[in-house]
Amino acid sequence: MNENLGNCSSSVLPNLSQRAEKKLFLAKSLKLEGNNFFKQQNLKEAIRHYHRALLYVKGVENDGSSMLRDLGATFTKTENGKDFEEKIDPVILKQNTELKIDCYNNLSACLLKNEKPDYEKIVFYCREVMKCSSENPKTHFRMALALFELGDFNAALESCNEALRCGPSQGLFSRKLRLPDASVIQAQMKEINLLNSTIYILVLIIVAAVTQQTSPPMSTDLSTAITCATSNATSVSCNRLHRLTQAANEMAEKKVTEMMKAVDKATEKLNALNQTLQIVIEYKEKLAGIESSLNTKYLLDLMHLNKVDREIRRMRIIDEEVTIKYNRMLALETRAERLRTKLEDKANLDEQRQQHQNLLDSQHISFFAQRTTSYSQRNTLNNYQINDLNQGGAFNKTSGIFTVPVNGLYYFYFTALKTKQGLSGTSRLTVQIAQTSPPLRVLAKGYMDSSDWNGWFSVQFKAIANLVVNDRIAVQLLEGSIYESGISGHVTTNFGGYLIVRL
C-alpha cells in the first residue's frame, strides 16, 4: 500500500516541505492579524482569524498522512531509477505545533473576555494545548477558572496545582529572567499576578468545599477574596478555614519573595542596560544627522529621476507614433503590391480568355449542359434538361452523351452538389467522366465524403484526353445522390467540354 502511494506522490505531492511551509506562513499571518484584533478588543474578528489559522495548521498535519505520521510523514518518490523518501522538515513541524498552541491559548483568552464566556469551549481549547505541551502555566490557570465556573472543583484544584508546578522554577516566565531587558520585570509582575490568581482559585475551591457552595463569589484581589471566603465559611468551620487561609498566604508570600529577588536582579541588569542605551542614543543622534543629509540627497536624486522618467515617457510616445506611421506605410505598400498583382492577374486572365475564345472560334466544337432536377440512379448515364451551347452539334442532352466529331485533344469538366446525408442515406458521392464506347475507360473521377447529416457539399473535377471520331463521352453516377433545388437560376449540376486542338 505504501509503495503504491509513493509511486503516485511524484505528481500529486511534488514537495511536501514547500507546501507545508506555505500553509504555515499563511497561518502565521492570520494569527498576527488576530492578535491585532485582540488588542483592539474586537474579539469576534480575533476568534475568526485564529480559527482560520488553525485550518492551515491542520492542513500541515494532514500533509503527513495518518498512515505515515509515525515515520515522520514520509513518501517514496522515484528519481533517476532510484527510490528516496520525502519528509516534511522537522523544523516546520515544530513551528506548526508551537503555532497551534498559541492559537488555542489565544482562543481561550478571547472567550474569557466575553461577557458570557463559554467555559466548556475554554476547557476544550486548553486540553488541545495540553495534548501538545503540558508545561504552560497560563493554560492550566485558564482551565482552572473554566472548571471552577462549571462546578468541577476537584479538576480545578488539579489545574491550579499544575499552574504552580509550571511557575517560576520551570515555567514560561522563569526563562525571561535571564534577558537583560525591561520586559523581564513585566514578565515577573505578570507571573506574580498569575500566581496570586491561581492561589485565589485554590482558596475559592477550599471555601466551596467547606461551605458546600457551587459558585462562590469571584474577586480580582487576593486579600479581598480571602476575607470574603472567611466570612462565608464562619458559620461552618472558622478554625479549619483560618488554617487553610494561613497556609495559602504563606505559600503566596514565599512565592512572591522568590520572585522579588529575581526582580531585583533583573533591575540591576536593567540599570546596566540603561547605560548602554545612553550610548545608543548618542549614536542615534549622529545617525539622525547622516539620515538628514541622505534624505536631502535622496530628494535631489528623486527630482532628477522624475525628470528622466518624463523624458523617457516623451520618447516612448514619439516611438509609438513613429511605429504607427511605419506600420501604415507598410500597409500601404502591401496594398499597392496586392493591387499590382491583381492588375497583372487580370491582364493574364484577359489574355488567356482571349486565347481561349480564339481557339474556340477556330475549332467551333464545344458544349455546355445543365440538369435542373436531383439525380440518384446509380451506374447510369446522367441526362440534362438545358443545353444552351452545342457548337458542332456533337452533344445529346437526352442521353447525356458527347460523340467525338473529329480526332483531337479534348477538355471536359463536371460540377454537382451532394445531397445531404439526411436525405440520401449516405455520406459519400462518387461521379466519373468515362468513355462509354470501346475501349471503355475512365477519364476522371470525383469523390466527396462528409459525415455532416444536414450539409450539402460540392464535387467538381475535369479531364483532358486524346479522342478519335465516334468516341462517346458521358457522366456516370456511381454512389450517392446529386442534389438540385429546382429553383430557376440556382442550377449546380453542370457538364461541359470543348476541343483544344485537332490531331
CATH number of 471's domain: 2.60.120.40
Q: Does 270 share its domain with 380?
A: no
Nearest to 442 by CA among 430, 450, 432, 431: 432
**Dihedral Cα 131, 137, 143, 145, nearest 10 deg:** 180
User: Does residue 141 lie within any of the structural domains?
Assistant: yes
Closest CA relative to residue 72, chosen from 54, 91, 58, 53: 91
pTM for the structure as a whole = 0.37
Q: Which domain holds residue 440?
A: 365-502
- Residue after which a domain boundary falls, among 239, 274, 309: 274
Residue length, the chain?
A: 503
Can you give the pLDDT of all 503 residues of the chain as single tens digits?
344 444 444 444 447 778 888 888 988 999 999 999 999 989 889 999 999 999 888 888 887 644 344 444 444 455 554 444 567 778 888 888 889 999 999 999 999 888 888 889 999 999 898 888 878 888 888 888 888 888 887 787 788 778 777 764 333 333 333 333 445 445 555 565 666 566 666 656 655 554 544 444 444 444 454 455 445 444 444 565 566 667 767 777 777 788 788 878 878 888 888 888 888 888 888 888 898 888 888 889 989 999 999 999 999 999 999 999 999 999 999 999 999 999 999 999 988 887 766 655 555 789 999 998 888 888 888 889 888 899 888 999 999 999 999 999 999 999 998 887 777 777 788 999 999 888 889 999 998 887 766 667 788 999 999 999 999 999 999 988 888 877 777 888 999 999 998 88
For residues 164 and 19, membership in a common domain is answered with: yes
Examine the domain organization and report whether 63 and 165 are in the same domain: yes
Q: Check whether residue 393 and residue 265 sit in a common domain.
A: no
Q: Do residue 227 and residue 376 come from a single domain?
A: no
Does 288 reside within a domain?
no
In a domain, 378, yes or no: yes
Domains in the chain, number: 2
In a domain, 340, yes or no: no
- Domain boundary among the residues 274, 307, 337 is at 274
- End-to-end C-alpha distance for the chain, whole angstroms: 86
Residue located via cell numbers 540603561: 274
Same domain, 125 and 238: yes
Closest CA to 381 of 407, 406, 412, 402: 402
CB 85 within 8 A of CB 75: yes
Of 274, 298, 333, which residue constitutes the final position of a domain?
274
State the CATH number of the domain containing residue 106.
Answer: 1.25.40.10
Question: Is there a single domain that holds both residue 390 and residue 496?
Answer: yes
Cβ pair 491, 484 in contact under 8 A: yes
Residues 264 and 388 reside in one and the same domain: no
